[in-house]
Chain A
């Protein structure tokens, strides 16, 4: 299998789906002539033309509103929001329109649209441009929220997202574009809503996703040197949340650490921990630990930013806390 970057994997998924289905098109800020602010759509404009790779005004509400309209009329738009921090400007359209139209109109229309966006900190983009508000969007029924942590998953999940008939928020990590990984040749559709064991182990279950998968894998390697075998479950999709592999792993290890990049309060870790307590109470041998971002607006200063973001050490410490 070829080793390619996350950026190449996402780019391939878009390219292949646009080649496959003429209804698929891309719209967003700087996605056309410039090739995307993370260079994901470089070359698309020349190949697919301005009709299918549309540069938009700097207005997130317009981008999502237009994408909803396009989807309702039978196209399959991929709307790009430069970062998830700008999604707040389009919040009404995302959570009140896209997430609910199918339900409000009793299924008379479908909304086959993907909102591609970029989340996470670590690039010194300061408090307003570095957030991980994934849990906020995962809160709303009617929206699918996908956040891959490997190139293989990014490609397979994005292709699935483009093909499903529901609105999908596809969150890429700002610091994972250069991450390399093996990606299957040919078509490998990965279903939305399936968690995956990314590393087998027997002593503790680490539940994570997106960027924190990389952090957790590093922590697991260090723990293995001390004889602690962590099993890592990658959620990959936050909504719908697939708890089966998490519960299966937890029933084996009886101990869990949940690692997320966003803030702890009301976060992904809170949801996963709660479901473990609800569904595997009799298997709990130690209080579940959460590793998350410090509860501050993310600092611009590099040292402070790294201190606020969850690090490999934090994961190791949390694992030792539950053992």
Chain B
């Protein structure tokens, strides 16, 4: 590649970068112009419309069984619960989310999760945040507990410090965040990589809670 060709490529990339930067600026401005629908401690950086909790209408049909969930093993302990093992939550509809507190994409999912927790926890939903640290500064339980308070994470947190479960639950394809919904029998009924699909998540939980309400008490 000659220097002239290389410069042409770079100018092209710079032009694309300029367009993208302009797009970014617009995106950054739009949430500020919206009403205060988001909490101050976890304002989403993506579309507010996507991240704002929506009233969960249950699915019309049962969500498919995607597999059977494994156990949570080799944990360093639990925060914000008296539970000592994953089986203590058996029999409940569970949202299990793999996250880490410095991951901005994980933070972006928390507002919806808070809404889901507030709505359905009194009706038997358990939300379990499996904290799988990417970096060593995220391994300190005190820092995790402090971050949980700041981020409004009020549900139980399992400490998966060496990422044993992060890897065993996500064979080959490992991402932050990863959100599963388990029914009362421990079947996986929802599996989402990354942000988004909040309506589907909420509807799945609503379906599982409402269609098994006779077993939740």
* A and B bind: no
